[in-house]
Amino acid sequence: MAQPAPGTPHDPGALQPLLPSDPSAIAGYRLLGRLGAGGMGVVYLGRTGTGELAAVKVTHAEQADQADFRARFRREVELARRVASPWAVPVTGADPDAPEPWMATAFVPGPSLGEAVREHGPLPERSVRILGGAVARALAAVHAAGLVHRDVKPGNILLAADGPRLIDFGIARVTGETGLTSADMVVGTPGFLAPEQAEARAAEIGPAADVFALGCLLAFAATGRPPFGTGALDALLYRTVHDEPDLAGVPEPLLDLVRECLAKEPAARPTAEEIVGRLTEDTPGAPADWLPAPVVATIAARSAAMLALPDIDPTAPGTAPDAPAKPSRRGFLLAGAGAAVLAAGGGAYALLNRRDDGDGKHPAPAARKTWAIGVLADLSGPAQEIGRAQERGARLAVEKFNAVHKGSPFTLELKVSDDRGDRTGALAAARRLTTDPSVIAVLGPTSDDTGIAALPAFEEAGVPLLTTSAGYNLLTLRDVAGPPNTTVLRAIPNHIMAGTFLAWSATLLPQIRRPGVLEERTDDQYSWQYTGGVRFGFKQAGIKPHFRVVPARATDYRRIIGEMIDAGIDAYIHNGVRSTAVLAARALTELGFTGPRFTGQHVFGNRFLKEAGSAAEGWFVCAPVIDPVQRAADPKQKPADRKLTQDFLDAHRKRYGTAPAFYTGESFDVVELVTTWLATSAARGPLTRKGLWDALRKQKYTGAMGGYEFNERGDLRGVGTFLYGVQKGAYKLLGSAPPEPANKKSGKS
């Protein structure tokens, strides 16, 4: 899925101070603060000599060194400059050939349509009509310039007092052009793209696709929800292509027009110019009278905040306030889908490099006497059992380092931040660690949701994040047209691969011919990714499952499971969370189902055994962790490997008085991977964050729980999934999941 290029003007309320390494000026723009960061660079708020504000996007020099990137950036500038409309944000300056290419667009201090609807609810009919007319005018100008925008969505519409503005031409293309994107790549934002985009029918994507997106936009503005719903990407794409839109709540006078915009066939949709003609009230009668009062108040407050912004002192020594200046290369580090800008004074210097890597005029940093390993974990929320295990594993690794390396030039501390399993506070919890200059790497997060929310903090600061429990693929998988991940090392398989290994584990039972696969959407990202992996795994084995999708928090599992049994299933696969797996386990028992039952990571744990009781007996559960007690007792382990596991067990029992919980050993290993590298490297120069992710990624490490090796994306190589059977109320380790389907190996079809 292609993601729009960064550079969208951000909420002025989120304006961040410039870092010491940031420039104070770019060409004729005096920089007042940072609006945000993205995969291509940093977006600053700039002011011209005459007082106009601009969003100034500056790319990383490392990015600009890539030939295809510079071509894409130049293309974005050229396409944006083609559009002449009062309802499209104009480009006010650019230099695609600069060492760090930059582009400035007029700054709009109002909220996006998406933000306004989330904060204040749907817009009234007149506002929707004016919104639609203005955006249609902007699209008419886009299409007249021979372009297709391809990403008309609420986040790309900014609301100003005198009308809306269309922004972001990062993935626009010339009509009929296909060379810059893969023919089978879906480009745009699910829920606001046309069927031809959803099916990647590149030859059919033209101006009518923008009209379809405008129809989605109008429905969203009028009702507060996208017309094809929300949820998993695959479900959104399917509904866009096959289902009728949900237009309940769209005002009657607009209903026919919105329906026509949402026609499945491109030729059946009106043109942007025709829409302008049908929305007669297409401009505000007076400033700000086109929006509800709460939205107007937001615009006014942000405009006032912009007027109150003072000038600032230069951030780089010797930079004249009004002189053109470019950002130093030492200020930037490519760090994944959100750009990372390193803060001088924040511990962000060149790894193992004794001198500054910029102009050579600054002294080398003094070596730190104390470094810290951070832990970002859920210690008091829904996944606290895992989070506390992770904190214990990290603490043991740090204590071991300090005991073994008493002559090291530095000591290690452990700094812990509790995100409570709440994505709304995860970013702040992460920044408590990433803004601490002593924190060189962080173990975490515990969950997918908090990981995605916290990721920008690590990307901005250049701090490696190592996870032993977050399997969401987008933590490491980036858009093919954007920068690679250089922030996260994932010590477990992503959910799609884990689902594949689960399916292949099921093929070890030769009697399975028609497994029933239930996708339960309480945790939607997890469930659809697991289902995708299961689908692929069974396809490789030549097995055709019976699939069933149920809404979040469905409770009538006796009926649901009964229907699956009536469909002839001989095995059951639960792709959902623990609470619904308990309901499924009870229903299967009550209905007398005797076939094997399988489930995955988000069910694994002692709470499933306790809550399901006897109904859990006989289940097979795949998890990304090993029981260290069972591993130490395994006679097939090499003596050296068994000793590593036993030493860890002894240390845990001595420190905590019990055997370790699941996820403790893997967290111990991952932190020891970091500390082992730090101990080896300290003798060669001052340690810093820069370059550490890549250095760790290249390690081949054997720890208490097994071996760790990462691919170029930062994902774990190998299987990394382990199969357990529930026997007498406990998990019995059966071994690693198979690396390919058993049926395929045996030739069974």
Question: Taking a C-beta distance cutoff of 8 angstroms, is the pair 135, 152 a contact?
Answer: yes
Question: Taking a C-beta distance cutoff of 8 angstroms, is the pair 367, 409 a contact?
Answer: yes
Burial of residue 485, with CB atoms counted within 10 A of its CB: 0-12 exposed, 13-18 middle, 19 or more buried: buried
What's the CA angle centered on 382, arms 378 and 385, to 5 degrees?
A: 65
> Which three-class secondary structure state does DSSP give residue 141?
helix
| CA atoms in the 13 A half-sphere facing the CB of 213 | 29
Closest CA to 10 of 100, 148, 138, 105: 105
| CA atoms in the 13 A half-sphere facing the CB of 327 | 29
Q: Is 11 a catalytic residue?
A: no
Question: Taking a C-beta distance cutoff of 8 angstroms, is the pair 55, 103 a contact?
Answer: no
Instruction: Out of 151, 479, 627, 669, pick the active-site residue.
Output: 151
CA distance 604 to 624: 10
64 vs 36, 285, 329, 361, 363, CA distance in Å?
19, 45, 11, 24, 27
> Which three-class secondary structure state does DSSP give residue 387?
helix
103 vs 108, 177, 241, 473, CA distance in Å?
15, 23, 36, 31
For CA atoms 278, 283, 289, 291, the dihedral sign is positive
For CA atoms 211, 217, 220, 222, the dihedral sign is negative
CA distance 341 to 149: 29
What's the CA angle centered on 545, arms 544 and 551, to 5 degrees?
A: 145
CA distance 221 to 290: 13
Q: Find out whether the peptide bond into 445 is cis, omega within 30 degrees of 0.
A: yes
Per-position b or e across 560-590, b if 16+ CB within 10 A of its CB: bbbebbeeebbbbbbbbbbbbbbbbbbbbbe
Closest CA to 461 of 329, 341, 358, 334: 341
Three-state secondary structure string covering 219-265: HHHHHCCCCCCCCCHHHHHHHHHHCCCCCCCCCHHHHHHHHHHCCCC
Question: Taking a C-beta distance cutoff of 8 angstroms, is the pair 39, 330 a contact?
Answer: no
As beta bridge partners, residue 416 has: 375
Quickly count: other Cβ atoms within 10 Å of residue 552's Cβ.
14
Closest CA to 37 of 67, 21, 15: 15
Contacts of 565 (CB under 8 A, 6+ apart): 516, 591, 593
Contacts of 407 (CB under 8 A, 6+ apart): none
Closest CA to 470 of 438, 439, 446: 446
Catalytic positions = 151
